[in-house]
Structure 1
């Protein structure tokens, strides 16, 4: 639990910035773009039903990122986004660090959201306070 206002505000800033960036810069282009190209990359990783799993990953980034930013269903959304970032990190495992860096950053923030929750300035917290 966040003990101080500064810690709560800091976590909210991290959650909102990383959630929106994941959703808008990474998830939205996949959801709105040519999914067959992304599915081809998923197929190279050995996933069965590559188009299905490509959609799962794109929605985990887009919807998961938005939900984490809002602090709504934070833990489940962060779980799906973290799993997707783990796969992305695996995909870039042989690349230079600069190519892995975004996956590592998003993975660490999504794991933090999974462990911590949305914090006091989240929709989850507002819903818990309702009578």
Structure 2
């Protein structure tokens, strides 16, 4: 029972973080586009919308468990990109706090990778995915 509770809480945390991120983007799309433009990305408004929609898809995957492993792996890659792009080494000389923000991303990545390996758990999970193998379903 404790294992199931821990897995469900972790899934809710993952979903909550990405839901908040998507919500902030949707509430201030122009601000998000400005931040994206600040790192030199082209078409910042387009990328802001793509990011918000991607984050919504992650929320759905974490809440349902469908395509959970794929979502966790994609989320880890996304968080790595965000950490490097927005808080990477080029930012450290201007503001030492940026290094702390950069490192924080790796803690989140570690959790996502762990989740990708162990799956969505046995309860409240839709068993659909490209990577998830049926024989591992009982191990989660």
Instruction: Look up the match of 1:73.
Output: 67
Question: TM-score, with normalisation over the residues of structure 2?
Answer: 0.67
Q: For 1:49 and 1:28, how far apart are their aligned partners in 2? A: 20
Instruction: Look up the match of 1:109.
Output: 111
Runs of 4+ in 1 over 4 A off after TM superposition: 126-129
Instruction: Look up the match of 2:81.
Output: 87
1:124 aligns to what SS in structure 2? coil
Q: For 2:128 and 2:76, how far apart are their aligned partners in 1? A: 24
Change (3 A) 1:69 1:107: farther
Is 1:60 the equivalent of 2:54? yes
Q: For 2:58 and 2:111, how far apart are their aligned partners in 1? A: 12
Gaps of 5+ in 1: none
2:122 aligns to what SS in structure 1? coil
Range with bigger deviation, 63-72 or 100-109:
100-109
Q: For 1:35 and 1:26, how far apart are their aligned partners in 2? A: 11
Q: May I ask how many residue pairs the two structures share in their alignment? A: 122
Q: For 1:10 and 1:38, how far apart are their aligned partners in 2? A: 33
Q: For 2:112 and 2:122, how far apart are their aligned partners in 1? A: 17
Q: Which has the larger radius of gyration?
A: 2
Is 1:23 the equivalent of 2:25? no
Gaps of 5+ in 2: 93-97
Asked if 2 retains the 8 angstrom alpha-carbon contact of 1:71 and 1:123, the reply is yes
Post-superposition offset of 1:84: 2.2
Is 1:14 the equivalent of 2:16? no
Instruction: Look up the match of 2:38.
Output: 44
2:126 aligns to what SS in structure 1? helix
